[in-house]
Amino acid sequence: MDVTLRDMAPADATPVMAVVRLLHGPEGWFSETGLAHLAIDLKFHRGWVAEHEGRIVGFLTAFTYEGIGHLGWMGVVPALHRRGIGRQLLGRFEAVMREAGISELEVYTLGDSVAYPPYVPTRAFYRALGFVAHRREKRSSEECPEALYLRKRLPPGPQRTPTYQIDKLDHEQPEVQQRIFDYLAPHEPHALFLLGNLAAKFPGSHLYAARDAVGRWAGIVGYYEGPRSLVPFATDSSAAAALARHAVGRHPDIVWLNGPGFAARPALAEVQALGYALLNDPAQVFMERPLPDDPAELPRGPHEDHVRPMCEADAAAVARLLRELQGGDDGSPLTADERARALRFGRWVLEAEGQIAATATTNGLGLRAFQILGVATHPGRRRCGYARSVCAALTRQMHAAGARHAVLFTGIRNVAARACYEGLGFAVTGDFLVAKLQHASS
């Protein structure tokens, strides 16, 4: 059957769970416990999906432990069983493991001693593809009283890195811009730096796309002159690394590298290999919340009536608040660049007793989602609900502009900020990196 295989992205979690629910039931493969476990594992496992006519019809997840490649979860929509989709997914898993130098695979399933018909063809499938019994384990579990562990030895394979053609995109051309939107749309929550900046016509933007051997886009990276930041997006780690390598060669003055962990981590490793030192702990949590259609259902902040759009007279006060995001305001004179950065985008401020107490901004609406950026509160005004109020007002404004999904990222150890955002309905769905860099020669 004609299907397309690709790396699984975080945005695929919902359609993958839809496939699983088709397989769920009293005579199916996934129990309620299995559904709950899979929803967690999808955040951490690597995986691949099979697409047919633009729809995900199968998936496989995997992880490695002690040098062995473990098949985590696998499923194909029931109507397309016995069409070769599972074999293709397993073949991709094997190929990736071989290229990584892994010589043995393992999977576990329900043991032969358990009289449960759906798993008879499952065991036959693995055995037909070369898996053999490794061990059996009795369990005190009604769902899996016996676990059968199967292993398969892999022949050695060449370790190779895919090659990509990197193209500079003329993103001001309408047809090119539309292609970028179409490519990133399925991954919108994780690509909002690229989408929002493109929609807002962010000045000093440079966009590059990676093409694979058959001409398909495998990822996009943006470089932005003002903040000197690199923003990679690719669901394949080798494409993310290739894009970073290319962009740094053309823009060696980078200071920041931002992006979802699955794209930013391989990009950061590549940049460090090129001689750039990491100056901070880049680890952030990525948080999301869907927005209701009815604006009356949006949560309100306790001081939302004191929130207003920023004006030019607020630039100095906001610039000093933004210094708090970089480690604190030392009281030194503001630079022209700091003032300009404070005025960038549509920023909102909360004024309390004649003082700018908190601020937040966004780089604009992508397609149906937006991200909250640059949230800062005056040190003497924290824990008063000011940050929550300014974020709530900004969300209300973006909802009116058509947003139905909101995302943000915050420091992994910033417990207070996470509590603030959770109070607005956000939940952690992944990781994000904000890396500050300096070349070794600087």
Q: pLDDT, tens digit, for every residue of 246-263?
A: 999 999 999 999 999 999
CA 434 – CA 248 distance, rounded (Å): 16
Pull the structure tokens for residue 79: 């109507």
Q: Which residues in 56-87 are b (16+ Cβ under 10 Å) and which e? A: bbbbbbbeeeeeebbbbbbbbbeebeebebbe
SS3 309: strand
Judge whether 84 and 125 are in contact, CB under 8 Å.
Answer: no
Q: What percent of the chain has pLDDT over 90?
A: 62
pLDDT for position 218: 93
Give helix 174-184 / helix 192-199 axis angle, nearest 10°. 150
SS3 376: strand
pLDDT for position 146: 86
Nearest alpha carbon to residue 436 among 276, 284, 320: 276
CA 222 – CA 197 distance, rounded (Å): 9
Neighbours of 113 (CB within 10 A): 10
Q: Which domains, and CATH codes, for the chain?
A: 4-153 (3.40.630.30), 165-283 (3.40.630.30), 292-403 (3.40.630.30)
pLDDT for position 341: 81
pLDDT for position 136: 86
- Which segments in the chain show pLDDT lower than 70? 1, 25-28, 157-161, 442
CA 406 – CA 199 distance, rounded (Å): 16
pLDDT for position 133: 87
Judge whether 417 and 320 are in contact, CB under 8 Å.
Answer: no
